[in-house]
A and B are shown apart, each in its own frame.
Chain A
Amino acid sequence: MRVIKDNKVIDDNWQIVEGSAIESGLPAGDVILPFSVWQSNREAILSWNDRKLGLLINGEHDIDDLAGDLDHFNIIAIEFPAFKDGRGYSQARILRDHYDYSGDLRAVGDVLRDQLYFMQRCGISSFLIKEEKDIEDAIRGFSDFSVKYQTAADGAEPLYKQR
């Protein structure tokens, strides 16, 4: 998957698989599984030893249902079905701030340059930019602001403490 991570464009092995792939045969390599697939095949999936696991969630899912399972996932992809659907920001903060999730958090879906700054502050660490957009250009979105008023999942101190 060609994504932005640590302010660079990188290629990694992760691939998001369809729900049906579990019957029809998974591709080789590291897979990101939809939430429903994980829920209905949990035991079988845990018996796989040969690949790293990722999970795909969206704003509908309750992270509390995953509380005991987070360690199984090297990556959690949060889907933004439309860029103005802001639930993913809260999902990211729950994972980072409440559950101390330390794996990669990846924004997928309608992911655009002008939201990256907010996403990063909520703890999202890699970004699958929408296909038709220029991924190199999108990197500029991280540096829109150099000053932050409030704390967030990035651990920023409230600005007033610097004053």
Chain B
Amino acid sequence: MYQYDQYDQTIVDERVAQFRDQTQRYLKGELSEDEYRVLRLMNGLYVQRHAPMLRVAIPYGLLSSEQLRMLALIARKYDKNYGHFSTRQNIQYNWPKLETVPDILADLASVQMHAIQTSGNCIRNTSSDHLAGVAKDEIEDPRPYCEIIRQWSTLHPEFSFLPRKFKIAVSGARNDRAAVSVHDIGLYLVEGANGNVGFRVLAGGGLGRTPYIGTVIREYLDKKDLLSYLEAILHVYNRFGRRDNIYKARIKILVNSLGAEKFTKLVEEEWQRLREGALLLEQKEIDRVRAYFQAPEYEDNAHHDDSFAEKLETNKDFAAWVKRNVHDHKMPGYRAVFVSLKSRNLAPGDATDEQMDAIADIAEKFSFSQIVVTHDQNLVLNNVKQADLFMVWQALSAEDLATPNIGLLTDMICCPGLDFCSLANAGSIPIAKQINDKFDDMDYLHDIGEIKVKMSGCMNACGHHHVGHIGILGVSKKGEEYYQLTLGGTAENEASLGDRLGPAVEKSKVADTIGKILNVYIELRQEDEKFLETYKRVGIEPFKDHIYPKKQVKEKELAHASH
């Protein structure tokens, strides 16, 4: 993984000093509430319902064991012994004291970490594929480009006060595991007509109140032009993006109000002006950064191992875990192991300090000391030998980290919701618990198979509900918590936004309604069709008919009466 040199370290250290000074000036009254608010947000510090929330950047989700141990230490020293991994592959602490945040940042800097631009109207953490570097379907490892983008966007003088937040994702694989098409800018590494690898560029995707799938604005971009093209897009956005209405300020609104063609023309014109200048990305820099992401020293004969097959046959629980939580790997004899943060005993995406320490140890022993955060709020150990899987499973099980539910109903994406977030209209975590309580039969969950449930406590869509196979949106009706369900969304290849199922349901009925949705699926599925496939084939009507029968009848009666 990338290692800081003295320059990277200096920037992070100076940012800590700057933030310490800003916080002191605020506490002394020299900075107003409003002035400090913008500054602290640019360092990931929110003021929430109960306490401040600090979001720490995990660039493209990649952590070393040493860094994860520091995250555990911070949870212990400054918070209530846990952290929450987010859909941006970051970690959030819900209970730090404002006065201690500069010290937390200093601790982070000691392990090459920071909270720079984890919030605010600036370029956020670039996210990526959690299987980057090990996936069989990979064209090229996207992480070096994420790191190059990280450096270019860090404290960018022109783009630190954008109309609104700005998120970039990069995928290097044929299957999109990074929700690239719902980002402000999405980049796919693709093979060009010339045989070289470059980028397909999307702009204007995003979730929130007005969800959009991004538009392809350039089919192929040479790597050398990456930064000049990004700068051109950001420049156009910074000049013309709306600033009068926070809900219309994202780049997706600009792209759609101008039309993709006009937007692209503005970008291309700006790019012509920039492309030959100092932004031209030199191959030697690409090579320098790529060198940090070399494959580890794999053992050539790791697949010459019988113990794995033997354990699979003799241990049913282990086999169930392998089936759901272990992913194949480009290297024979190696696997990627998903660490489930979706046990029913903690809120989705949460991990305790002890769990983090344990994972750091397991990664150190069995996976080259690296851990990846997924945008589904789980962790991955990317390079585990098959012969070690049984020991890894045992070690994870001991820490309640081996629930065999990756990709299943209970592997929900869930925002912090009303329990923590000051924007939320409704709770998310209690709904996750309700779902966990109702669907506690593992055999049933395995029978239902792959299904992505994504839940947000408000329109801001931090839980990506628009792209859930089942999306759940918390709303407030006369002060009561209600939940609007959508079906058929996906952020993978051929992304689509979910369709609204019907009126919002009351809080106590969410899990029951999901049960009814699953009944329709079970009845209609053909052979081993997955939920999303069935949905795409039959559409929303059978689900509507089953879940809102009375209303249908009433509507039919009304229609008759009017004849």
Contacts and interface: CB of A to CB of B under 8 A. Distances in A.
B278 interface: yes
A122 B288 CA distance: 28
Contacts of B243: 85, 87
B22 interface: yes
B226 to A, nearest CB: 12
B107 to A, nearest CB: 21
B19 to A, nearest CB: 10
Interface in A142-157: 144-152, 157
Nearest to A88: B161
B288 A87 contact: no
A121 B157 contact: yes
B312 interface: no
Nearest to A158: B278
Given A89-B157, A150-B151, A114 B235 contact: no
Which of A89, A98, A163 gathers most chain B CB within 10 Å? A89
A159 interface: yes
Contact of A83 (B161, B235, B273): B161
Contact of A86 (B159, B227, B282): B159
B235 A122 contact: no
B518 to A, nearest CB: 46
A159 B151 contact: yes
Contacts of A163: 5, 7, 288
Interface in B270-303: 273, 277-279, 282, 285, 288
Nearest to A121: B157
B272 to A, nearest CB: 11
Contacts of B159: 86, 89
Given A90-B239, A150-B152, A84 B161 contact: yes
Given A121-B157, A163-B288, A147 B278 contact: no
Contacts of B35: 83, 112, 114
A22 B249 CA distance: 37
The binding surface of chain A is classed by DSSP as loop
A86 B11 contact: no
Interface size class of B (residues with CB under 8 A): 35 or more
Nearest to A148: B155
A132 B406 CA distance: 56
A90 B266 CA distance: 14
A114 B22 contact: yes
Interface residues of A, number: 35
B7 A162 contact: yes
B22 to A, nearest CB: 7
Contacts of B273: 98
Contacts of A120: 157
A88 to B, nearest CB: 9
B277 A86 contact: no
Contacts of A93: 158, 235
Contact of A147 (B7, B31, B157, B162): B7
Interface in A56-112: 59, 83-87, 89-90, 93, 98, 112
Nearest to A117: B157
A27 B98 CA distance: 49
A122 B239 CA distance: 14
A160 interface: yes
Nearest to A160: B285
Contact of A118 (B10, B160, B282): B160
Contacts of A121: 157
A59 B240 CA distance: 9
A85 B154 CA distance: 19
Given A83-B161, A145-B155, A114 B39 contact: yes
B286 to A, nearest CB: 10
Given A83-B38, A84-B121, A157-B278, A144 B151 contact: no
Contacts of A158: 152, 278-279, 285
Contacts of A157: 278
Contact of B152 (A83, A98, A146, A149): A149
A161 B278 CA distance: 10
B437 interface: no
B49 interface: no
A77 to B, nearest CB: 18
A22 to B, nearest CB: 29
Which 3 pairs show the lowest CB-CB distances between chains A and B?
Answer: A86-B161, A121-B157, A151-B278
Interface of B: 5, 7, 10-11, 14-15, 18, 22, 31, 35, 38-39, 121, 151-163, 227, 235, 238-239, 243, 273, 277-279, 282, 285, 288
10 contacts: A86-B160, A86-B163, A89-B158, A90-B239, A145-B155, A146-B10, A149-B11, A150-B153, A150-B157, A162-B7
